[in-house]
Structures are given as C-alpha cells and as structure tokens.
Amino acid sequence: MHSGQAVVSGTLPETSAPHSNLPDHEVHPLFLSPYQPSQCGVATYTRDLADAIDRIAGRPVCAVAAIDAGGHKFTKNGRVAHVVRNEVGIAYLDAARFADEYRCDVVSVQYKAGLYPGRWGEAALDFAEACGKPVLATLHSLRAAPEPGERDVVRRLAAACRRVVVMAGASGDLLRDVYDVPQDKVAYIPYGAHQPACCPKAWLRHRMALPSGPVLLTFGLVGPDKGIEHAIDALPEILACCPGALYVVAGRTHPGVKAREGESYRRQLQARADRLGITDHVIFEDRFMPLTEVFLHLKSADVYVSPHTARDRPASASLTPSGPPALCTFRLWMESCFSASTSPTAASRDTG
C-alpha cells in the first residue's frame, strides 16, 4: 500500500523510486467496495487497484467485501470474500465483524455517499467505527459546499480511519479547510491511467465504421450530471464549421440513475438532438464497455468532450494522458492537472 503524504495546495508530491516505500512484509488488503459484476466507476477502480497490488506482490493478496445494491450474484471465491447486502439493516456491522476475523491487515473503504445506505452514506461510517482493523478511506465524492450532515459524516469517517486518500490536491484542501480534517490524515494518490497500445487512427475508424471527419467523444456511465445536453446544444455551431463532425456518446445509463429515473435523461438527449436537426451527427452507444473498447474509442476520437456539471467531482478516469485532447468544463481537481502539465485540456468555467 502507499504511505501517506500530506497535500500541498495544487502541487503533486515528489515520488520516490518505484515501490521503494512498500512495507518489508506482505500486506493483505480487504476492499469494501462495489465490485464486478456491478457496472460502475468505483467497481472498475477497485478492480484495477487490486490487480495492480497483486501484480506488485507477485501473487493474489487482495480481497473484496463486495457491496451489493442491485441484486447481483456474487460468487464467494477468488477475490470476493464477503458480500454486503445494502437491504440488510446490520450488513455493515456484520461486515466489520467479518473484517476483524478475516486474514487481512488493512481495510480500504471506497467511499461515495450514494453507494451506502443513509442519506450521506452513514453505513460506511458504521463500518469504519466498528472495525477493529486499520481502516483507510478513499473519497470518490467530496463537495465544496456540503450540507451539515454530509460534512459531519466525512469528518467522522476521517476520524475513524488511519488515513484518507484523495485523488486530487484540491480535494485535500477541501478536507482541511471545509471538513476540518487534519492534514496529516490526508494522502494524495493521483488517479491512475491505463496505457493502451498504439493503433493507427485510420485503421480504427474503418474497424468501428466511423466517418473520416472529426469525431467528438464522451464516454462513461450516462446521467444528468454529465452535462451532455450542453455538448449537443453546441453541435450545430460545430457542424457549421465542420459539416462532417460526429458526436459519439458511449456508455450505458448509470445503474443508480436508471433505478430512480429509468431512461428519461437519455430520451431527453435524443429528443434534443432531433429538435436541433442533428440526429445524423449524434450516436448513442447504450452499453457498458470493457476497457479494450474504451481504448478503441479514445484512440479513434479527435477530441474528448467532458461537459460535466459537477464542479466538485474529485477526479476523472476518462481524462487521461493516453487519450485525445480534451474539452471540458472546469472542475476543482483540474488545478492539480494543470500544475502537473498533463494532456492538453481546455477549460471553461460555465456549462452554458
């Protein structure tokens, strides 16, 4: 596991030689997180992180207490050691007892309020306060102007944990300045990125039946906070300059959004494109994509468009150095990205 490092506003910490700060004994982490077959970003993040730790260890050392909010059929073998059913009232106290008895050295809680029961994910706090093993929390959501109850849950979660992991320097500043979390509790570990193999763009376009004109891409789980309507509204002006442009929206509707609202947001987007007379220039690929397909889409696109409306989102898996130039609305975590001089990014402070 990574050692902690305090956040300095907007700067990346210096890194030591690869794996030089690993403990001298084998560590067995247990992740409390959504996991496959759940189709969400946190589940993918946990899988990738556990895969990386196992590679460093040279053998499987990671286990998962998988959060089940959607009736998934988890098999308790391999990496999934325990299943936490959100509909069971004492599920997180049971999970804490399981962790105490399990052969793990540390528990990594992947925290995002909507993943856990309670308005602000209070069940994650129940787990952290009841667990006798060392607990770390990785924060996948953190708002700059939290409601009192939200702030209290995050503050108490940090107090119950040995360390709190953030993926952007701005998030560490928020913890210190807004949530009153001591700086020495915060570890800044930037969001990782896969490095896909290089493929000729023309070959990819042919394989994916895409036109030769400019291709704009948005991918990921679709929901109202993605702001895709703003990109669709801008497309007529783009088409006036580039008549052959195509906007690809790749990804299924977020499971949480679909459970609450069905496909209403996607239908609104389709109706918007129809009303603007640009349906031939907008493609919706309504499916969850494996990593290999995501890479193909990234490598085939000319511009990645991220019109996200949530300024407080701590990090983005889609804006990676391996992707095309990105056009995106401003988010707080970008301060770290700009200071680190990553891939070319254009930022706008409003979504209009």
- Whether residue 182 sits in one domain with residue 101: yes
Distance from C-alpha of 333 to C-alpha of 313, rounded to nearest angstrom: 7
* pLDDT at site 229: 95
Whether the pLDDT of residue 174 is over 70: the answer is: yes
Cβ-count burial of 148 within 10 angstroms (0-12 exposed, 13-18 middle, 19+ buried)? exposed
* pLDDT at site 6: 33
Distance from C-alpha of 109 to C-alpha of 129, rounded to nearest angstrom: 12
pLDDT tens string 260-289: 899 999 999 999 999 999 999 999 999 887
Q: Which helix (H) or strand (E) holds 265?
A: helix 264-275
Mean residue pLDDT across the chain: 82
pTM for this structure? 0.74
- Whether residue 168 sits in one domain with residue 223: no
- Whether residue 140 sits in one domain with residue 287: no
- Which residues does 205 contact at the CB level (< 8 Å), separation at least 6? 211, 212, 215, 300
Domain that residue 247 falls in: 201-348
- Which residues does 296 contact at the CB level (< 8 Å), separation at least 6? 199, 204, 207, 208
Retrieve residue 67's tokens: 């959060």
DSSP class of 223: -
The number of domains in the chain is 2
The per-residue DSSP string of 70-133 comes to S-----SSTTEEEEEETTSTTHHHHHHHHHHHSS-SEEEEEE-GGGSSSTT-HHHHHHHHH--S
How many other CB atoms sit within 10 Å of the CB of residue 104? 22
How many other CB atoms sit within 10 Å of the CB of residue 274? 11
* pLDDT at site 221: 85
- Whether residue 143 sits in one domain with residue 67: yes
Establish if 7 belongs to a structural domain.
Answer: no
pLDDT tens string 312-337: 665 555 555 556 777 777 665 555 55
Q: Is residue 305 a contact partner of residue 345, using CB atoms and an 8 Å limit? A: no
CATH number of 67's domain: 3.40.50.2000
* pLDDT at site 76: 64
- Whether residue 155 sits in one domain with residue 34: yes
* pLDDT at site 345: 47
Is pLDDT larger for residue 336 or for residue 140? 140
- Whether residue 147 sits in one domain with residue 55: yes
- Whether residue 253 sits in one domain with residue 175: no
CA atoms within 13 A on the CB side of 343: 14
- Whether residue 52 sits in one domain with residue 85: yes
Positive or negative, the CA dihedral 290, 291, 293, 294 is positive
Q: Is residue 309 a contact partner of residue 351, using CB atoms and an 8 Å limit? A: yes
Is pLDDT larger for residue 319 or for residue 51? 51
